[in-house]
Amino acid sequence: MGLFHFDLYSLPFRVIAFVIAFSLHEYAHALAAYSLGDRTAKNEGRLTINPLPHLDPFGLIMILFGPFGWAKPVPFNPNNFKGNKRLGIVYVAAAGPVINMILAFIFLLLFYMFQAPFMIEIMATWSDKVIEAIQLTIQYCVFINLGLMVFNLLPISPLDGSKIVRYITPHRWDRFFDKLDLYGPWLLLLIVLLPPFRSILVIPMEMTLKVLESIVRPIALQLFL
């Protein structure tokens, strides 16, 4: 199954994986902002793992029928942050991709667990359709969490990566980023909608998956096999 191979049969598994990924991604942003002293996200009902407050209709349509999707950005006010405001923005921006990396790790570990002898014995009484549904959901949870992480780390406005890069650099670079931000949405449309530009996502996703597998596989062998 390729990273960008979608079909109607996979639709429910992609939806489940996407809901888990974006709900916890946005919750992580809200929690990071709240822990730094900003209640904006909490006051707007975004400090929750409930997917409904985070749902972006067009982003959901894209994950259902297109190559990728997204959720509503979590609002925050850095003026409320304790300590260094610019560093606070970096922490909040990084929280989403970090939780997606953790989720990808967990679901990849689950993927290996379902290949363990004790799980094969347990699943012997299950129907093939149930087993396939579970395995496909886990696989999409790995891929979509990795996809959200890599996508959001691109240094293109309004993604998390642009905030991380912008606010770890000196103030004197702000004008440069202000100009660059004007082109961000157009660059994202090219990457998401045009297959030739999709390698910007696919290549780092494949590399990250290989690294993640090299970490998780030995752990899974110790735990399950």
Positions annotated as catalytic residues are 26
CB 76 within 8 A of CB 33: yes
Q: Which residue has the tokens 């998401």?
A: 192
Report the alpha-carbon distance of residue 73 to residue 159 in Å, rounded. Answer: 9
CB atoms within 10 A of CB 64: 14
Helix/strand/coil for 66: coil
Q: Which amino acid is at 110?
A: L
Report the alpha-carbon distance of residue 205 to residue 167 in Å, rounded. Answer: 25
Q: Which of 104, 36, 89, 48 is nearest to 72 (CA)?
A: 48
CA 168, 28, 185: angle at the middle one, nearest 5? 60
CB atoms within 10 A of CB 75: 14
Token reading at 200: 């910007």
Residue 86: C-alpha distances to residues 26, 46, 82 (Å): 20, 22, 11
